[in-house]
Amino acid sequence: MFLTPVLKVRTDMPLYQQLYQHIKAEIIAGHLVAEQKLPSKRRLAEHLDVSQNTVKGAYEQLLEEGYISSKERSGYFVQEIRNLVQVPKVAEHIEEPGTEKPQWIVDFGYHGVDLEHFPFLILRKLAKDILGQRDPAFLRRVDPQGYKPLRDAIASYLHNARGVHCNPEQIVISSGTEFLFSILFQVLPDHFLYGIEDPGQDRLPLLFRRNRAQWVPMAMDVDGMRTDSVRESGVDVLCITPAHQFPSGTIMSVGRRTELLEWAGQKPSRYLVEDDYDGEFKYGGVPVPALQSLDGHERVVYMGTFSKALTPSLRISYMVLPEHLLRLYRRTLSYLICPVPLLDQMLLYRFIQDGYFERHLNQMRTIYRRKREALVKGLRNLSGAIHVQGAEAGLHLVLKVNNGMTEGQLIAAAQACGVKVYGMSAYRIQSSESPIPEILIGYASVTLSDVEKGVGLLAEAWFGGAT
């Protein structure tokens, strides 16, 4: 008889589970074949010297998963299992030593967030609550534009924190800027010409090219995108980052905002796409609301993300469509379902609604401000040859370093001292490099003590330790 497993009283697996596993393995191995009759619960329980309940538990699970069937008044029979699924475990993932990233003492990258204050336990509590409710909404498709309560909460946040005028119906939730743009490309006419910031986000040219959207680089000055080049360019849509231009860190001046809105207002086919990627963080001076708040003519498409405010691994972004584009979107993109899983949308909704988001943002702002102050102070003390710009907002700043080194030399010298910094030139398309090299420094992911350590190492790398 194949049904003689060695059952052990183990705390980690109940007896009925052990028996289930054993019988299942015997069926899969072909030792018990289709149509074969299994012993009755009573007989097997006696044979194994276990309770009938143990056998009952095992048989029920086997029944449930289709390994056996029961025929009334005649007993249990092994089922044909060739259409059942087996999924062997894979090897647990262990980082291979060779694939590790180079070990930096300090990495001033700017794609991450603070590593010490992520609200894991709050999210754990909320996930537990949400999944415990067994909400039938989980078993249906997601709303095409995103979970309505989350859109309500985002609209409330945008109104209060960024001055954005919108109703929740205008919000489209998606997975990231690239997905929002690919929706826009489908809503707007194919022949549209897009103007993108130069220097600007390096993913955009490739994103536009792969989506067969025409684009031209636009010149920038200290106030933002230059109005003269906008006027000459013949573009239909400008893609801008007014709150904290990437990568230069400039905050677009009020005058320039007005000029660009005027430009857009001159033709009904002109649009501004405002990417407010790190607009949550402004550290001093007058708060600057989103450009969208000044838009009286439905010319601005506002894009936001939770990548900086929470974490890039959340993959939740959204845009606010002007009413007439919303109608177009609904008419033309009916096949498109919101890509964000409902669980994350519900989690984020509760996180905002229960007040955790407000607290988290204000706490992170305090933390980031401290890091930024330590960084700016340290860098300014380091040498008069360093000029800091773009530090009033966001999570990165730009250094002009006038010590005679080129950008490449600055990066290499920092690297030799174990510090990773980034060059502005990687973000230039046609614009010529600044005569004084520009270095990008992100401070979200480093600790306060790493900021000090990093500045000390940069002093060594760039000024031979003379501080």
52-82: b or e for each residue (b if 16 or more CB lie within 10 Å)?
eebbebbbebbeeeebbeeeeeeebebbebe
Let me know how long the chain is. Answer: 467
Is beta strand 193-198 parallel, antiparallel or unpaired with respect to 237-240?
A: parallel
- x-or-dash pattern for a copy of itself, window 157-196, by CB under 8 A? x--xx------------xxx-xx--x---x---x------
Query: Binding residue for a copy of itself (CB under 8 A) from 14, 339, 418, 456?
Result: 339
Amino acid (1-letter code) at residue 156: S
Q: Does 291 bind a copy of itself (CB under 8 A)?
A: no
448 touches a copy of itself by CB under 8 A: no
Provide the 3-class DSSP secondary structure of residue 151: helix
- Amino acid at position 226, single letter: R
| Binding status of residue 112 toward a copy of itself by CB under 8 A | yes
CA distance 283 to 200: 22
Compute the radius of gyration of the chain from its Cα atoms.
Answer: 30
CB of 131 to a copy of itself, least distance (A): 4
- What ranges make up the beta strands (E) of 332-407? 386-389, 396-401
Measured from the CB of residue 413, what is the shortest distance to a copy of itself in angstroms? Answer: 27
Give the helix ranges, DSSP H, for 77-147: 120-132
- Give yes or no for residue 131 binding a copy of itself (CB under 8 A): yes
Residue 36 within binding range of a copy of itself, rule CB under 8 A: no
Q: Tell me the torsion sign for CA atoms 109, 112, 113, 115.
A: negative
Q: Which of residues 309-338 bind a copy of itself (CB under 8 A)?
A: 311-316, 332-338
| 357 interacts with a copy of itself by CB under 8 A | yes
If binding means CB under 8 A, how many residues of this protein chain bind a copy of itself? 103
Q: How far is the CB of 49 from a copy of itself (least distance, A)?
A: 27
Residues 63-82 that bind a copy of itself (CB under 8 A): 63-67, 80, 82
Binding segment (CB under 8 A) for a copy of itself, from list 224-232, 365-373, 383-391, 457-465: 365-373
| 219 vs 199: CA distance, rounded Å | 8
Note whether 429 binds a copy of itself by CB under 8 A.
no
| Pick 294 or 405: Cβ nearer a copy of itself | 294
Please tell me the distance from the alpha carbon of residue 184 to that of residue 272, in angstroms, as a whole number: 12
Q: Are 382 and 421 in contact (CB under 8 A)?
A: no
Does the footprint of a copy of itself cover residue 363 (CB under 8 A)? Answer: yes
Minimum CB distance to a copy of itself, residue 440 (Å): 17
Among 14, 39, 75, 149, binds a copy of itself (CB under 8 A): 149
